[in-house]
Amino acid sequence: MREHSYGISVQTDLSVEEAEQQVRAALADEGFGILSEIDVAAVLDQKIGVKRPPYKILGACNPNLAKEALDIEEDIGLLLPCNVVIYEKDGATVVGAMEPRTMSQLTGNDALTDVAEQARTGLVKALSTL
């Protein structure tokens, strides 16, 4: 698993399609639903004629954690949902998720720390299945 200040990611030999199916199931097992999805490669092709390898963004949300976060910090919706990306790179598939700790770091609201840690635990578990 690779970690940096704003994300957590894994590489897999699964195809993009297989990785997407598996991460969707793993996220569901951790209480996350998919609120939105953006096929970035298709949008770039349709809007500006740029061809690129598959790249998808899934907007993952755990409703219980979202409620807790919103109760603490109303504007936290600016940082929700937890985006998960799936793309090809150097012959492998990368699946990454935003680092939920950025919620408390960016807002400066330490009351969000527990919610962020719970979200992080679920996202790490989901990515670890790949």
Determine the Cα angle at 119 with ends 118 and 121, to 5°: 65
Rounded-to-integer distance, Cα 70 and Cα 39, Å: 28
Cβ contacts of 69 within 8 Å, gap of 6 or more = 76, 80, 103, 112, 115
Q: What is the pLDDT of residues 33-91, one digit of tens each?
A: 999 999 999 999 999 999 999 999 999 999 999 999 999 999 999 999 999 999 999 99
For 96, which DSSP code? Answer: E
Identify the pLDDT of residue 52.
Answer: 95
Residue carrying the six token digits 């349709």: 46
Identify the pLDDT of residue 124.
Answer: 98
Rounded-to-integer distance, Cα 40 and Cα 17, Å: 14
Cβ contacts of 127 within 8 Å, gap of 6 or more = 1, 8, 9, 10, 23, 26, 95, 96, 97
Token output for 55: 């790249």
Rounded-to-integer distance, Cα 76 and Cα 58, Å: 18
Reported pTM: 0.93
Class of the CATH-defined domain 2-128: alpha beta
Rounded-to-integer distance, Cα 24 and Cα 70, Å: 24
| CA contacts within 13 A on the Cβ side of 93 | 21
How confident is the model over 86-115, as a mean pLDDT?
Answer: 95
